[in-house]
Structure 1
């Protein structure tokens, strides 16, 4: 079960939906002089490991740029950030000083008016004393306002300087990211050239299959959705979780989850993918990203019998018609010694799609169940329907036909969608499972 490791972008360009990628192993290979001997050239295994290292460097550089931009836009503007907090305090003090000066100036005006109105010597003396005190207070208020305004200006300058420094940092990080990308591209080219030199396609005729190392089915590596409801409504967003669990007794060095969404309407079984937007984020990478990028993203090392959660959210377009959808999930791993594998199938989490403003009761988006009771989904309440869909989706038996003819057609449509989701990526997934077929 030999696998060629491909990049998410390459596969996404070949099919209309993202596919599971067993790995996007990073790389870098030093260019060798033309006169270098064959024995001095790096081996394909060394090149693959170099690609893996370069991919990690590039992924880290991309994340660093995104985090730096997010910090510029959000972190620096948090009220608790030192320069922002100082600026807010200085502005508040300047505002208070300005108000105090205005009141002091008005007191001078009032005292002057009182003096002008005085008719007796005693009244004039009292009014003059009041005017003198008001004038002195107004002068002190003016001095205080000037000092407060100066502090506010200094605080604004300090905060602006912090933003400028962060902007410069972003520029340096972007340069490092671009250099890492160039390094990765060069390494991939070196690996591709070495593979082509050794014969390109393997004896089995697979495109770019690896001559060393086999990837094995590991059903103990699971990717299970939690919190996806039975029904989603147009114009809403649903948050849920993909939990990836290493149920084996060994640590997996790099774990790659995969999730995608597919849907069909309930009338003509037209594809609804354009109405469904699936995004992901993690604690380490909190910015929401399109799910098609998830397949090439490593969650890092996953120890034996531990889990890691990936946040998912499904945005449903307000104009979506009634239909049925499914979130497909799986996971793969790649170890430092080049051993690899993954869950042998796609797990299928089915949900009903209701148009915006639809009434839950008897809605056309919810086909009758096997007993003919309208509007009752066959999947568990509150969690969506979950089943395991083999990569080979040519059969319409089993779970596709369990609920009778009223429910079979949408599920057959989703099965066809699964094949579309796999697309060229099925080459990757099925090769992962090829050992079973060849056995």
Structure 2
């Protein structure tokens, strides 16, 4: 869907250029359409309507269904044509038998002629005229019968050859017809897919324009009580304060929290070891923060007001020691479907192995840089020079955490932005202001 493409683009931009969230300037909005824009508008006018594409898709579906039915019918014909019970196959078989019988009859007739000729030659000199006449007649009759048998065999052979050819031709024709109908079905399927895709694309493009979601820096989300060191297997309670610094009421605000961590190598992500729950005064029972969802909701949050969300983090005891970030942000959607949100702030913490003693630790601070030590220096680096801190996320880039490699963390930042809404203000378009908290 269009929203997914917009969100993917916005998330990538959030890591590098959050200014893309800002609306276009009046100068750009008032600019006259370019030649390319006019050409695009012309193309839009020439495009078929949704109704036309629906009819085309229905027609393509029917043609494909008909083609499938034709293949099924052709298969029945093919199976009948190549069956030994097929009339032409039976006729060819009978013709071959008749030809074989004619060949046998010719052999018998030839033998009879040979025997008659031998009998005539064997007559003694004392044979009577009547005996000679009878022997000669027997030879003549046998010769006539042999000629007749030869003609019968020739006719039977021709008949068998024609019947066999007719049977073979019928089989070949059935196979070719079946293959042809299969090809027609395949073409119908391709046409159906093309029609379905054209309709889906048109419906996607025809989605109604949604209100722009804007960056709102005056919507503050601040975490308190999150320690800078967390022990695997422990449960940590902390809180998130959401403050509406704008001059208008925000009808529904969604706090967003996401934990990302890696082991000491910096490459093995262990996010699944973190389990977060939320609770508010209006909804005191602890509820799980599901992937991609907010830590509850606040409805409404008046101008200048703030609200507290209690959070409880449980870390699996099997989680290895490592380094982590808590990403915190917030977005809102109003009854008029306008929406917006702030960029995420990151809180760095160290994850200790189960059974470790964290001792007295300070709270994690927004954008705080973890000092580089020999234990957490980037992989392949021998220098002990601390990692330089970059600007905070709110200023458009990621703060350094001193984790073993910037690459996994930056990749995780984009994933976290997707999950908790560093630019999730765009997702607010899909959330109705009147939905249940």
Query: Whose relative contact order is higher, 1 or 2, with alpha carbons under 8 Å and at least 6 apart?
Result: 1
TM-score, length basis structure 1: 0.42
TM-score where L is the length of structure 2: 0.42
